[in-house]
Structure 1
């Protein structure tokens, strides 16, 4: 069955590595046209060449991007829309996982994490909805995290806080956009064995990137309001994670 045109043109940020790179591979195999954004242009170029070698009929446009620069985000999204003849889905994925406990000389890394993950998500959502609102169509996807459900300590402290902010941002946008034809999805992956997560102290029930990405892409295609992926175990764990006392949660998750 041919793909619906309105979800054919997909922009992914943070596409040079990790989940962003894997999502690009999945959608390329499905014949989607892609706009790939990241800071590392050399990695984007390698990925483009790989994707076109497998699926030469698609269009892949590349856009160097630091998501903390709102003017650069606006320009990259506008350029991507011009390159693909419009955008149908934007995946807010770019993120970092640096930093540590507050007050222990990790302020610079914590600030970078906050600016990239949350302020960068605001910039991306603004730019995407500037395109989607006039069209009355589009799908805005936020890649959040299971860590958004609870505050976490140590190296996860600021990271989990930023992801909680991303999830709240998605819900607020969904409320604003009700009835407009623009869909909003927040995806909450569990632990995934990527280089970004390599310093997390406890990788409970971690998935390999391929399995996690299959679950993310499948969830995105359904366009739910919220998804916990992979569903086993994370859809089952979501409510217990919210309800367990902090002291017990700390012993389990850190």
Structure 2
């Protein structure tokens, strides 16, 4: 099945932008939203230059404005006729070790990565249930499989929660035309980690986004990307001793 009309949140930069480029190459219509409308306008021009035969709709959206999430999703649906796939991608990685005075940053990450993700899932699933079709894609992380320290503590916890949320929704709509996919990217270079120098197995944004889009198209329940090494390494991370996990973060 071809999912022609695709909505992506957090699309103005990083993985969201990278996925939009890959889908544009495939001839898909795109509904793109993010806080920075000027970046979306630049991206729209880039995508239409890449493929003038597609539709590219853009709207400003702060996913922490939950009412706006519902209105923007429904506006896109009305303008395109249907939404075939929604990719919940918006997120952030602020934070620090618990108890070190950065509650505000940790709270902001928790609200953006999980509470706002619930709003996006709710808005998407209302549309999909009414259509009796659709593909919900949640962008989690390899960090969802374990706890991590420092700036990763709350981030990893939100991604574990998002993975669990995806599974719960999947169970709820089993044996229906609605599909649920949870993508767990490994280390992919983007704005969220561009200041981190030493990262094992990191790949550039284009390579990572191609792997993500390929996995999304397969519509499996869970995917760890790029498949090398994460399809195997995530099993090792689940049982690795805490002393090793500590060295990784």
Same fold, judged at TM 0.5 (above): yes
TM-score range normalised by the length of the shorter chain: over 0.9
Q: Is the 8 A contact 1:133 1:180 kept in 2?
A: no
Q: Is the 8 A contact 1:15 1:37 kept in 2?
A: yes
**Which of these residues, 30, 33, 46, is aligned with residue 50 of structure 1?**
46
**Alignment-derived partner of residue 159 in structure 1:** 155
Aligned to 2:5: 9
The alpha-carbon deviation at position 232 of structure 1 amounts to 0.3
Distance, in Å, in 2 between the alignment partners of 1:38 and 1:83 is 18
- How far apart are residue 245 of structure 1 and its match? 1.6
SS at match of 2:152: helix
Pairing partner for 1:179 from 150, 175, 179: 175
Q: Which deviations, in whole Å up to 9, do the C-alpha atoms of 1:160-199 show, x marking residues without a partner?
A: 1111111011011100010121000000000111121135
Q: State the partner residue of 2:116.
A: 120
Distance 1:201 1:159 in 2: 19
Counterpart-to-counterpart distance in 1, 2:35 and 2:242: 37
For residues 8-87 of structure 1, the aligned pairs below 5 Å read: 8-87=4-83
Give the counterpart of 2:128 among 115, 128, 132. 132
1:208 match: 204
Q: Structure 1 unaligned runs (5+)?
A: none
TM-score (norm 2): 0.97
Residue matched to 1:97: 93
Q: Which runs of 4+ in 1 moved over 2 A?
A: 198-202
The Cα offsets for residues 90-115 of structure 1, whole Å up to 9 and x where unpaired, read as: 00000001111111111111111011
Q: Structure 1 stretch 31-40 or stretch 195-204: which is displaced more?
A: 195-204
Which of 145, 165, 168 in structure 2 is aligned with 1:149?
Answer: 145
In 2, Cα distance between equivalents of 1:103 and 1:202 = 26
CA distance in 2, matches of 1:22, 1:249: 29
- Report deviation, 1:68: 1.1
Counterpart CA distance in 2 for 1:164 and 1:199 is: 24
The Cα shift of 1:65 comes to 0.5
User: How far apart are the structure 2 equivalents of 1:71 and 1:202?
Assistant: 39
Contact 1:149-1:238 within 8 A present in 2 as well? yes
Give distance in 2, aligned partners of 1:53 and 1:205.
32
Aligned to 1:190: 186
C-alpha distance in 1 between matches for 2:75 and 2:11: 16
TM superposition score normalised by structure 1: 0.95
